[in-house]
Chains A and B, each alone.
Chain A
Amino acid sequence: MKGVWAVFYREVMFLKPRFLKVMLSSIIYPALFLLAFGYGLGKNARVGNLDYVVFLIPGLITMSSMNQAYGISLEVHISRYYFKIFEEYLLAPINRWEIVVGELLYGIFKGLIPAFFITLYALISGIGIRLNLVFAICLLLHLICFSLIGYVIAMLVKSHADQAAFSSFVMVPMIFLSDTFYPIEKMPALAKYIGYLFPLTYSTKLIRGALLGIDSMVTFRNFALLFTITFALFVIAIWVTQRAEVV
């Protein structure tokens, strides 16, 4: 486990001088969505029995925490291709899975920052959310999933351009098609089918269900799908790291 701690320590030390910036950016982005969609367009709107703002809050938690967890992609890529710090990990007497888990913990840590602040806002502003173990487990699984996507992409792509292309073609559509801002069931057929391919759809449903007490969303099927995707990503992450060479 020494490798896990070393990688996590390095990443946290790297984050330390940037923490305020990361914190502010992870608050501003969802705050703008909340203002524009929640208190602007959706002021008097309802989704089923819920006020739109109440519907939106869990979506903002998943969307913004996903962005932060996935954001490790850029950092891992830079440390591997430009600063070559990743070589230190490859040279060290640690198992390669320890690198994956260390980066994963960092992704979870980063993802918790916006999740904490949005949840805090929801509690202070009286939006009726319930904090419980199911929410904690689902949020953790969600953060693991997107940290792994970020890590795998960082290991597979060869340039920033490829990384940007992945963000444009996968991450941005995922934000809008995965039940975050609008119920996926009300989307046009094609968008709905695409949305169901994204893990964010299942994590948003699970987290919304857990926070708002909607049992029909916290289903075994949603959890199993998210868990399976996450497990597959973990296997891929280990596989690519085992084969990683100097670049």
Chain B
Amino acid sequence: MTEIEVRSLRKRFGNIEALKGVDFEVKSGEIFAFLGPNGAGKTTTINILTGLILKYEGEIFYRGEPFSPHNLKFKKLIGVVPQHNNVDRDLSVEANLKVHGYLHGIFGRRLKEAIDRVLEFTGLTNHKKRKADHLSGGMKRRLVIARALMHNPGILFLDEPTVGLDPAVRRSMWDLIRSVNSLKGCTVFLTTHYIEEAEILADTVVIIDSGRVVACGKPDELKRRVGRYALEIYYQDRIEEEFFETREEALERLKSLDVPAKIREVNLEDVFLKITGRRIEV
């Protein structure tokens, strides 16, 4: 089943055309990654899909129904983890979750159960009474995720979920995102500029650059389009990549070089590089 369908999505901010006709589909139950450099249009797309931006051109369908930003039905369906940790710093973890519960019409015993459930799921049970401001960056991120899960959304949007987190916390966040997808059966739509994150987590990847979708598919499919092996050649003033189907081909080319070079497996950045001629700059 198609969860979200986006057709010819366009958005302009003054003279800047942030989205130039974006099309994609998100399938039910998958982890869908929107990969691209900063300024590519990832957050703008999420903001439109979640109703935070009201004016745009194009069509959006949720489960086959046309989306309208003011229709509350769609808002019940989604949970959003924004790029910044917009927790209420002066409130306790529990009070933060209470506010979200009330906003979604969850009261009384149901509210208490929902709070305990999401705290346990995100590993924050022992921090229930702590002021949100006293949590570490990773914990605040978990709190934002816990908050977004309070009302059992069918689709969870995560905008750059691991930006600014150290590698260990990032990995634990990946586990959490996988659990949201597999244990809660939640479709996950995430944006990222981390290649590794998209490769590890995503079932489907859309690569976006300067407001246009430049590639779309399963990570392995996308990489196959480039080749299997990449040869990184370190010239004095630049690094160049060449792509090969077999390791032997790559090795043969390596032997013919008189500058240092390295063979590695192709990744999604190579796909981006091959299509746009640039690296994903963050």
- Any chain A CB within 8 A of the CB of B128? no
Which chain A positions have C-beta within 8 A of B84?
Answer: 84
Which chain A positions have C-beta within 8 A of B75?
Answer: 91-93
A83 near B89: Cβ-Cβ < 8 Å: yes
CB A160 to nearest CB in B, in angstroms, measures 19
A2 near B54: Cβ-Cβ < 8 Å: no
Name B's interface SS.
loop
A-B contact count (CB 8 A): 74
Which chain B positions have C-beta within 8 A of A87?
Answer: 52, 82, 86
Q: Which of A17, A90, A95 contacts B90 (CB 8 A)?
A: A17
Which chain B positions have C-beta within 8 A of A14?
Answer: 88, 90-91
- Any chain B CB within 8 A of the CB of A88? yes
- How many Å lie between the Cα of A95 and that of B51 in the bound state? 13
Which chain B positions have C-beta within 8 A of A36?
Answer: none
- How many Å lie between the Cα of A245 and that of B47 in the bound state? 9
- Any chain B CB within 8 A of the CB of A94? yes
Which chain A positions have C-beta within 8 A of B50?
Answer: 91
- Any chain B CB within 8 A of the CB of A116? no
Query: Per-position contact with A for B96-136: 1 when CB-CB < 8 Å, else 0?
Result: 00111011110100000000000000000000000000000
Binds B, one of A5-13, A104-112, A139-147: A5-13
Query: Per-position contact with B for A61-98: 1 when CB-CB < 8 Å, else 0?
Result: 00000000000000000000001110111111111100
B88 near A91: Cβ-Cβ < 8 Å: no
Which chain A positions have C-beta within 8 A of B54?
Answer: 243, 245
B86 near A84: Cβ-Cβ < 8 Å: yes
- Any chain A CB within 8 A of the CB of B72? yes
Which chain A positions have C-beta within 8 A of B80?
Answer: 91
- B70, B84, B91, most chain A CB atoms within 10 A: B91
- How many Å lie between the Cα of A89 and that of B72 in the bound state? 12
- Chain A residue nearest to B103 (CB atoms) is A92
- Chain B residue nearest to A79 (CB atoms) is B88
- Any chain B CB within 8 A of the CB of A124? no
Which chain A positions have C-beta within 8 A of B86?
Answer: 83-85, 87-88
- How many Å lie between the Cα of A96 and that of B51 in the bound state? 12
A91 near B90: Cβ-Cβ < 8 Å: no
A246 near B76: Cβ-Cβ < 8 Å: no
B99 near A88: Cβ-Cβ < 8 Å: yes
Which chain B positions have C-beta within 8 A of A91?
Answer: 50-52, 75, 78, 80
Which chain B positions have C-beta within 8 A of A88?
Answer: 86, 99-100, 103
- B55, B76, B99, B100, most chain A CB atoms within 10 A: B99
Answer whether A6 and B90 are a contact pair too, CB < 8 Å, given A87-B82, A90-B51, A246-B53. no
Which chain A positions have C-beta within 8 A of B78?
Answer: 91
Q: Which of A13, A93, A245 contacts B104 (CB 8 A)?
A: A93
- Any chain B CB within 8 A of the CB of A58? no
Query: Per-position contact with B for A1-31: 1 when CB-CB < 8 Å, else 0?
Result: 0110110011001100100000000000000
Q: Which of B51, B95, B105 contacts A13 (CB 8 A)?
A: B95
CB A90 to nearest CB in B, in angstroms, measures 6
Q: Which of A3, A83, A84, A96 contacts B103 (CB 8 A)?
A: A3
- B50, B100, B102, most chain A CB atoms within 10 A: B102
- Chain A residue nearest to B50 (CB atoms) is A91
- Chain A residue nearest to B76 (CB atoms) is A93
CB A75 to nearest CB in B, in angstroms, measures 11
Answer whether A2 and B105 are a contact pair too, CB < 8 Å, given A83-B89, A84-B84. yes
Residues of A within 8 A of B (CB): 2-3, 5-6, 9-10, 13-14, 17, 83-85, 87-96, 242-243, 245-246
Residues of B within 8 A of A (CB): 47, 50-55, 70, 72-73, 75-76, 78, 80, 82, 84, 86, 88-91, 95, 98-100, 102-105, 107
Q: Which 9 A-B pairs have the closest CB atoms?
A: A6-B102, A92-B103, A246-B52, A93-B75, A84-B86, A93-B72, A6-B103, A2-B105, A10-B99
Provide 15 A-B residue pairs closer than 8 Å at the C-beta atoms, listed in order of the A residue: A13-B90, A17-B90, A87-B82, A88-B86, A88-B103, A92-B75, A92-B104, A93-B75, A93-B103, A93-B104, A242-B70, A243-B54, A245-B47, A245-B52, A245-B55
Taking A88-B86, A243-B54 as given, write out 8 further A-B residue pairs in contact, using a Cβ cutoff of 8 Å, ordered by the A residue number: A9-B98, A9-B99, A84-B82, A84-B86, A87-B86, A91-B52, A245-B47, A245-B53
